[in-house]
A and B are shown apart, each in its own frame.
Chain A
Amino acid sequence: MGSGVPPYKETGIITVEELKRLGLMPPEERLARGPVAIPECPEEIPCNICVVSCPQHAISIEGIKGLPRIDWDKCVGCGVCVAKCPGLAIFVVDLSKPGEYAYVTVPHEFLPAPKVGDVVDLLSREGKVVGKGEVVKAWETNKTWVVTVRVPKELAMEVRGIWVRK
């Protein structure tokens, strides 16, 4: 407020516009081409775990505290960074499939563990249930699940969490 505090610090929610402004959003044509990682990491925190985790060497950070910069051409959307990011701040979005669905990959650290075929609640950045989606892929490393859900294309930039009902 006033003193230059960005709006996402007031709400805990970052907008797509803000991500674009910070250069964290892949360009439209890249999004249309296949799955790609989106780091929602706007603050220059002292961390570079994504850089060393990426099997494609597609992520770079200046020193230890720059913003993560993804080489959109090298990124294949594998989701390893989704698993490794300590801030659980990286997502993979795939808008390349024909038809009405996109695929969003999110980190997940709650019980029950998600399984392929589960129909789960789709959560927006502010925790609103914006729909239901089917889990198409789920794998785990060091207790972080990396879950890919099928979502309506118009929700691809909204869905950032899931809730598996017991």
Chain B
Amino acid sequence: MPGTPPLKDRRIWEHPILTFKRGRRVKFYFNGNIVEGYEGESIAAALYAARYDVFSRSPYKGRARGAFCMIGKCSSCFAIVDGVPNTRTCVEPIREGVKVEFQEGLAEIPSATGGLEGKDEEVIEGVDVLVIGGGPAGLAAAIAAAKHGLSVLIVNEHFKLGGQLIKQTHKFFGSKDLFGGLRGFQVAEELENKVRSMRNVRVLLQATAYGFFRDGWVGVAGKDRLYRVKPRFVIAAPGAAERHLAFPGNDLPGVMGAGGAQTLMNEYGILPGDEVLVVGSGNVGVIVSYQLLQAGAKVKGIVEILPYIGAWFVHAAKIRRYGVKVYTRHTIKEVWGKDRVEGATIVRVDEHFKPVPGSETDIPCDLVLIAVGLTPDTRLLAQAGAVVTWVPELGGLVPIRTKYLETSVPGLFIAGDASGIEEATTAMIEGEIAGLSAVVRAGADDAGNAAERREALLKFLWDEYRASPVVARAKAGKLKVTVSEDEMERIRVSNPPPVRFGS
């Protein structure tokens, strides 16, 4: 029940697409000052809404640090929460009375009474499938596996399921049976409802899978306990992190990932800035620009180093007809401001992408969004011993896999952006394929039907969906890292997996 918005609050109260269902008001503390937020908000979001931009200072040069990725992938929003330093405030929900303190450089190591006591341990043995990540890929994988009777444990870092779907307000492309036509957050609702209705799926929120151990144990750090999990199969769908660009001032609060801004405005209903410059004209940059207009911000322009707009034309046309300017053949030169962005300088580039001196333009703004692509989050997979390789078309290091999405670690499957950057629709298809692969391998009751469905999905994915010219680059990347079963066996001989699942 929204009350009267406090003065200068950054919350959005009217939106053409979203209705923000705010929880009850709660009070917490930031450096001893009372901050009001709404139940269901993260600490970072509530602080940002109250116009606190700086949460900590860097250890070395004391530079201001604030919100950047907003999904627990970077360290920009660290603060001390109830005595625990280095807390990612973006994935920590606010609670009545919680004490948040500014973190000045490196923090003191917390004592056992500083909030770390009471960490129980729970051993989870006998679960069929451990799904790491509760976004579109992970949820689709969990549903596919559970439908065929396998028991599933989902571990999810955020305190909500749905991954990046929950901040997508545009309608999805695709076909009806792939949720095409629904808005991203509506797809998230459908997937979550499905998962919650399945009795053989257990969900751990605010839980991080932190490592693979000898004999197939997986360590999971939960909010108040540690879990030792011994699954038959693992499906890793940890997603991706936003890339950054190097330029002076790129660490100023107000320089934010495009996805971070989406989290603020579409998940929490908090306007990330009033006047915005977006760097990168791919789908993400163009979509976030459209969403900023919907939320009531002014988009001062989109900077694109290439001579053409990267986004699919229909997305680009949407922002052009509301007058958003795209500065093609331009790059960002620097951002200025004191503890918060006050403006940016962009510069034209020549055909070798070198800045042309004298072609600078100053753009006053209070938010600079970085939308220059994502990089797969494959650290955990590499730690497990899965052989990874660098594929520029897929955004960075990705595991080598079979068409059934099994990595070089037997019984460890991948799906979604961690398998190489595409988008949510393919993430859900890959998730289902990975889930079905576990079903087939487990020899579940109707494994035959699962295998048939898997072949149909593979055919659709490779021969129809990825046949579109707009996804040609990602397809080329995925082709590079998809190997035959025989080839995978050879890879396993030369890179013996340190751990094995699926036996």
Task: Give the interface of A toward B (CB within 8 A).
Answer: 1, 5, 8-14, 40-49, 52-53, 63-65, 84, 86-89, 109-111, 113, 123-128, 142-144, 160-161, 163
Residues of B within 8 A of A52 (CB): 175-176
Give Cα A126 to B326, complex, Å.
Answer: 11
The stretch of B193-201, B311-319, B383-391 in contact with A is: B311-319
Can you report 18 A-B residue pairs in the complex whose CB atoms are below 8 A from each other? A5-B307, A8-B313, A12-B319, A12-B320, A40-B314, A44-B470, A47-B175, A49-B173, A49-B174, A65-B467, A65-B468, A84-B181, A86-B170, A87-B315, A110-B294, A123-B321, A125-B321, A163-B322
Residues of A within 8 A of B16 (CB): 109-111, 113, 143
Q: Is the CB of B321 within 8 A of A41?
A: no
Closest to B174 in A: A47
Give Cα A124 to B466, complex, Å.
Answer: 33
- In addition to A41-B314, A52-B175, 17 A-B residue pairs with Cβ atoms within 8 Å of each other are A10-B307, A14-B313, A45-B312, A46-B464, A46-B470, A47-B173, A48-B180, A49-B173, A49-B181, A52-B176, A64-B465, A65-B469, A110-B293, A111-B14, A126-B320, A128-B323, A161-B321
Select A123's contact among B15, B173, B307, B323, beta carbons within 8 Å: B323
Closest to B286 in A: A12
Give Cα A128 to B17, complex, Å.
Answer: 24
Q: Is the CB of B308 within 8 A of A9?
A: yes
| Shortest Cβ gap from B475 to chain A (Å) | 11
B471 CB–A CB distance under 8 Å: yes
Q: Is the CB of A65 within 8 A of B323?
A: no
Q: Is the CB of B308 within 8 A of A45?
A: no
Q: Is the CB of A109 within 8 A of B313?
A: no
| Shortest Cβ gap from B176 to chain A (Å) | 5
| Shortest Cβ gap from A114 to chain B (Å) | 11
Q: Is the CB of B468 within 8 A of A46?
A: yes
Residues of B within 8 A of A128 (CB): 323
Closest to B302 in A: A12
Residues of B within 8 A of A127 (CB): 320-324
Q: Is the CB of B176 within 8 A of A49?
A: yes
| Shortest Cβ gap from B158 to chain A (Å) | 25
B379 CB–A CB distance under 8 Å: no
Q: Is the CB of B175 within 8 A of A12?
A: no
Using A1-B308, A10-B328 as known contacts, say yes or no to A49 and B175 having CB atoms under 8 A apart: yes
Give Cα A22 to B182, complex, Å.
Answer: 28
Closest 6 CB pairs of A and B: A127-B323, A87-B314, A47-B173, A86-B171, A12-B316, A12-B320
Residues of B within 8 A of A8 (CB): 313
B interface residues, tally (CB under 8 Å): 46
B20 CB–A CB distance under 8 Å: no
Q: Is the CB of B465 within 8 A of A46?
A: yes
Give Cα A139 to B138, complex, Å.
Answer: 37
Using A52-B176, A64-B175, A84-B181 as known contacts, say yes or no to A43 and B313 having CB atoms under 8 A apart: yes
B371 CB–A CB distance under 8 Å: no
Q: Is the CB of A45 within 8 A of B321?
A: no
Select A63's contact among B171, B294, B326, B464, beta carbons within 8 Å: B464
Residues of A within 8 A of B175 (CB): 47-49, 52, 64
Using A49-B174, A65-B468 as known contacts, say yes or no to A12 and B323 having CB atoms under 8 A apart: no
Closest to B176 in A: A52
Q: Is the CB of A125 within 8 A of B465?
A: no
Q: Is the CB of A45 within 8 A of B470?
A: yes
B77-96 CB contact bits vs A (8 Å, 1 = yes)? 00000000000000000000
Give Cα A15 to B183, complex, Å.
Answer: 29
Give Cα A54 to B208, complex, Å.
Answer: 45
Q: Is the CB of B324 within 8 A of A44?
A: no
Q: Is the CB of B180 within 8 A of A86?
A: yes
Q: Is the CB of A49 within 8 A of B312?
A: no
Using A43-B470, A109-B294, A110-B293 as known contacts, say yes or no to A10 and B323 having CB atoms under 8 A apart: no
Residues of A within 8 A of B171 (CB): 49, 86, 142, 144
B172 CB–A CB distance under 8 Å: yes
B309 CB–A CB distance under 8 Å: yes
Q: Is the CB of A9 within 8 A of B313?
A: yes
Residues of A within 8 A of B460 (CB): 64
Closest to A10 in B: B308
Closest to B182 in A: A142
| Shortest Cβ gap from B460 to chain A (Å) | 8
Using A5-B308, A64-B174, A142-B183 as known contacts, say yes or no to A11 and B313 having CB atoms under 8 A apart: no
Select A45's contact among B176, B322, B468, beta carbons within 8 Å: B468
Give Cα A88 to B309, complex, Å.
Answer: 18
Give Cα A12 to B323, complex, Å.
Answer: 11
**Most-contacted residue by chain B among A11, A53, A144 (CB, 10 A):** A11
B444-478 contacts to A (CB < 8 Å): 460, 464-471
Give Cα A84 to B469, complex, Å.
Answer: 23
Closest to A87 in B: B314
B307-361 contacts to A (CB < 8 Å): 307-309, 312-324, 326, 328
B272-329 contacts to A (CB < 8 Å): 293-294, 296, 307-309, 312-324, 326, 328
